[in-house]
Amino acid sequence: MAQSSKRRGRVFILIAIILILGVAALYLLVVRPQTQNAPSAAATPAPAEDMGEIVMSVQAIPYGTALTAEQLTTVPYPKKLMVPGVFYSNITELVGKRAKMDLDARVPITSSMVMDSAEGSLSAFKIPDGMVAVAIPMLNSIASVGYAPQPGDHVNVIATMMFVDMDPTFQTILPNLFANVVLPPGTIDNPASVAFATTMGEGAKRGYAEQDETLAQPIYLQPSEPQRPRIVSQTILQDVIILEVGETAMQPTVTNQAQATPTPAPNQQPATKAKPKIVTLIVTPQDAVTLNYLMYSGAQMTLALRGAGDEQRVKTDAVTLQYTMDSYSIPLPAKQPYGLQPAKTELTLPSGLEEAQPAPR
């Protein structure tokens, strides 16, 4: 029993020694390195960074708004990051200036974001470098997608033109008119005499000869009406940004406070918003010249509104009467020994389907 007790005592002593060595090793590996790396209480603190102040917006500021002191505040900012002439450090310097763009809240105000109140047009700051703005007419609600497009929207521009055959010398629409050439008496004996022509009027339009099978003799055909123009439509511009809709100078000035909408009287109808007559587009200088030519040449232009975020460009084919018939399998109606009654010479809505008019109040 005594030897067994001594053996157990030596085991406990051995276990105790192992535990002590483990604790010591843990201390050397973990606690001591952290103690050595910890800053000394007597260490010299790092010098404080030299700070200044910059002006920041405290609320969202719409484009064109005149800035007020209530919309701005100052915040600390490292002086080494402040570029001279870029950041504002004094609110007073900004009061009265106008925002060139929509400013979010908590945005540092820089010189590129504001302009003096009398410094040119606000619209000019929305035009990217290398681009220009040009206005085209908004013909009606059909040609302008029901007046849906607004500033910032992307549109395509479709032009529709009419072509006619012309005399290359006279630069007049064909057919030409015949005229009688009159030789004064004594023309042969008097070289000074001059022949002159007298027009024969609309009844003398130039036509062409054709052999009539019934009469078995040639006949001369003349047009029964003026030449009909040939119509063609094609997309001329794609993914164009709208700068303004309507006359910019006639739009109300942006103010700092929202204007309350007056409530109409019980029997008073709300005022109808005037329909815009023009739309201003941001285009390249060459496209601006093209649009100018098309406007003065009489072409009709239609806007096609693009989906938000859609920037792809699709090659389109010019559309004519022949293209429409070929692409959509439209046959030329055959001449038949029968027809509809009453005769239809133009397309109209069936009776009773005319556009409804609002009933008078």
In sequence order, the β-bridge partners of residue 87 are 110
CATH number reported for the structural domain that contains residue 64 in this entry: 3.90.1210.10
- CA–CA distance, 231 with 318 (Å, rounded to integer): 10
Quote the pLDDT of residue 52: 83
- CA–CA distance, 99 with 338 (Å, rounded to integer): 72
Cβ-Cβ contacts under 8 Å for 71 (sequence gap 6 or more)? 57, 58, 59, 61, 256
108 and 142 co-located in one domain: no
For residue 342, say if its preceding peptide bond is cis, omega within 30 degrees of 0. Answer: yes
Query: Nearest-CA neighbor of 175 among 217, 235, 220, 135?
Result: 220
Residue 23 counted as domain residue: no
217 and 234 co-located in one domain: no
100 and 236 co-located in one domain: no
The per-residue pLDDT string of the chain (361 residues; one tens digit each, 9 = 90 and over) reads 555 555 566 666 666 677 676 666 666 665 555 555 555 555 566 566 788 888 889 999 887 788 899 999 998 888 888 877 788 888 888 888 888 888 899 889 888 888 886 666 778 878 888 999 999 999 889 999 999 999 999 999 999 999 999 999 999 999 998 888 777 766 566 666 666 777 777 778 888 889 988 888 998 888 888 999 999 999 999 999 999 999 875 444 444 444 445 566 666 666 667 889 999 999 999 999 999 999 999 999 999 999 998 889 999 999 999 999 999 999 999 999 999 888 888 888 777 655 555 555 4
Quote the pLDDT of residue 165: 96
140 and 282 co-located in one domain: yes
Sign of the CA dihedral running 330, 336, 339, 345: positive
Residue 136 counted as domain residue: yes
For residue 39, say if its preceding peptide bond is cis, omega within 30 degrees of 0. Answer: no
286 and 236 co-located in one domain: yes
Residue that has been written with the tokens 């008019």 in this structure: 357
- CA–CA distance, 57 with 69 (Å, rounded to integer): 10
Give residue 216's region: left, alpha or beta (phi > 0; psi -120 to 50): left
Quote the pLDDT of residue 14: 65
Residue 240 counted as domain residue: yes
Residue 199 counted as domain residue: yes
Start-to-end C-alpha separation, the chain: 122
Residue 22 counted as domain residue: no
62 and 207 co-located in one domain: no
Residue 108 counted as domain residue: yes
**Does the pTM exceed 0.85?**
no
100 and 156 co-located in one domain: no
Query: Which two structure tokens, joined as six digits, stand for 174?
Result: 């064909």
Quote the pLDDT of residue 252: 43
Residue 243 burial (CB count, 10 A):
21
- CA–CA distance, 238 with 135 (Å, rounded to integer): 16
Contact 195, 184 (CB under 8 A): yes
**Single-letter code of the amino acid located at 111:** S
Quote the pLDDT of residue 245: 93
Query: Nearest-CA neighbor of 280 among 131, 64, 68, 164?
Result: 131
Residue that has been written with the tokens 């260490």 in this structure: 43
3 state SS of 302: strand
Residue 6 counted as domain residue: no
Quote the pLDDT of residue 172: 93
Q: State how many domains the chain has.
A: 3
Q: Domain range holding 79?
A: 51-119
Quote the pLDDT of residue 65: 83
- CA–CA distance, 320 with 163 (Å, rounded to integer): 11
215 and 241 co-located in one domain: no
Quote the pLDDT of residue 356: 52
Quote the pLDDT of residue 298: 93
- CA–CA distance, 279 with 150 (Å, rounded to integer): 9
Quote the pLDDT of residue 63: 79
146 and 240 co-located in one domain: yes
Residue 329 burial (CB count, 10 A):
6
157 and 280 co-located in one domain: yes
Quote the pLDDT of residue 337: 93
Residues in the chain: 361
3 state SS of 81: helix
96 and 238 co-located in one domain: no
Residue 255 counted as domain residue: no
Cβ-Cβ contacts under 8 Å for 165 (sequence gap 6 or more)? 173, 174, 227
- CA–CA distance, 51 with 171 (Å, rounded to integer): 77
- CA–CA distance, 57 with 104 (Å, rounded to integer): 7
Query: Nearest-CA neighbor of 244 among 86, 88, 63, 113?
Result: 63
In sequence order, the β-bridge partners of residue 244 are 280
- CA–CA distance, 101 with 124 (Å, rounded to integer): 11
140 and 286 co-located in one domain: yes
3 state SS of 56: strand
